Amino acid sequence: MRALAILTVKNEAAFLLEWLAHHRAVGFTDFLVFSNDCSDGTDALLDRLQAMGELTHVRNPGPWREGPQWAALKLADKHPLTRAADWILVADIDEFVNIHAGDGTLSALWTALPQATAIALTWRLFGNAGVVDFRDAPVTAQFTRAAPPGMTWPWRASLIKTLFRNDGVYGKLGVHRPRAPDHDRLKQAVWVDGSGRALPETYRTGRLFTPLGEDPWQLVQLNHYALGSMQGYVLKCDRGRANREASTFDLSYWVERNFCDIEDRSIARYAPATAEAITRLRADPEVDRLHRAGVVWRQRRFADLMAEEPFRALFGRLMLTPPSRPLPAPLAARMQALGLAAAAKSAPV
């Protein structure tokens, strides 16, 4: 069974090896990675990893009409690896598949969900937990405090990425879910959440998050390290978003994701295999050099940004801002009601 992970990156050399090694341990067999406008040597590191047979690298320089990630997905739609894959996941560098079923592999997940053709992997938001400085250490070990189950606000706590069978039901890739359904085949699609529950038929053609207030993580979750360290977050703001060329991050993005209520170390089951794979990759002198260069680049870039008032002010605000607290049920319900009312008001008559 060929499982393809598709990734878009810019200036992520310091994090690339952990992400790749982890998802090898999970059971992905192929990696299609797009890079754009890198200043830290990420593109060179990807070239070296491609030469070693670890992944396929495609350069994706701008300008783009809809941002680099959407441009990359259009290229990926036509790529031979996409056509050859049995299962596909479009992921980001800060997202880590964390399977609880069986031995933690994709094979175990498919065995647990034999009828599923699309598995909605719900984010579990991992907060910053007061980590100020960037360190060259595994992200999955540094950040172990996460959002609790059952949160109903913000709705982004229930956003999904989709691991789906490449069976022709969908004709195009999407950031969160496959697109362009073949309506003659659509009845074949069986959507489930990460706890194995069947999702309504509306998920066949839409929906970007699993039902609010439920626990969708019993068999699999998607660990989302959206914030990282405070220094790292400043660099993330400097980089901008992958799916919207001109869009930036700010303190509102931080507040809506900085939940640190529950300790979750379940991803540690992969740590030995991930560490072994990283050691193997870094045994190549060029890979090791490029990884180290990516770390140095981050340190120097942060120092440069601290000479600019907007970034220095953001860094200070991050240190001032405590972890976010889940809203009590009445306030969360109030926010949901406001959102529903706004949607009804804007809906066409």
pLDDT in tens, 299-340: 999 999 999 999 999 999 999 999 999 999 999 999 989 988
- What is the model's pLDDT at position 249? 67
* Residue 65 clears pLDDT 60, i.e. is over it: yes
29 is written with which tokens?
């067999």
* Residue 245 clears pLDDT 50, i.e. is over it: no
Q: Are 93 and 7 in contact (CB under 8 A)?
A: yes
- What is the model's pLDDT at position 143? 98
* Residue 153 clears pLDDT 70, i.e. is over it: yes
Residues 6 or more apart from 139 whose CB is under 8 A from it? 15, 18, 94, 96, 225, 228
- What is the model's pLDDT at position 244? 44
* Residue 248 clears pLDDT 90, i.e. is over it: no
Q: For 172, phi and psi rounded to 5 degrees?
A: -140, 155
* Residue 145 clears pLDDT 70, i.e. is over it: yes
Average pLDDT over residues 192-196: 98
Distance CA 208, CA 211 (A): 10
- Could you tell me the pLDDT band of residue 239, with boundaries at 50, 70 and 90? confident
* Residue 97 clears pLDDT 90, i.e. is over it: yes
